[in-house]
Amino acid sequence: MKSNYTTEENNLYSKVDEVIHYIWDPIGISFEPEARNEYYSYLPEIYRLVKSNAPIEIIAKHLNKIQIENIGLPSNLEKCTEIANILLSWADYLGFNIT
């Protein structure tokens, strides 16, 4: 959790962390407790995109870019789009994406 975030922002940050670790999990480590921090370095930017209500396509492309350039895996834009949709659904549920 970020100490300078509101309770609501911390809740969203936590949900983004959980979705990235347990659902996106491109390298398949979600069952390994010692790997819980594997995706932490990507969280701030993903969180920023989600909190700012970026379009699904932008979030999906960002996740896909991480997957290709940082992790070294092949592109899977379809799965990244599903993850982006889940992330934005959480933001909406928590009151961040009110239009």
On whether the CB atoms of residues 45 and 89 are closer than 8 A, the answer is: no
Query: Pick from 46, 41, 38: which is nearest to 15 by CA?
Result: 46
Structure tokens at 11: 């809740």
Number of folded domains in the chain? 1
pTM of the predicted protein model: 0.92
CATH number reported for the structural domain that contains residue 43 in this entry: 1.10.340
d(CA 74, CA 82): 16
Q: Tell me the per-residue pLDDT of 30-50, one tens digit each, with 9 for 90 and over.
A: 999 999 999 999 999 999 999
Unique residue bearing structure tokens 């909190």: 51
Domain with 15, as residue range(s), is 7-93
On whether the CB atoms of residues 9 and 51 are closer than 8 A, the answer is: yes
In a domain, 2, yes or no: no
Q: Tell me the per-residue pLDDT of 63-82, one tens digit each, with 9 for 90 and over.
A: 999 999 999 999 999 999 99
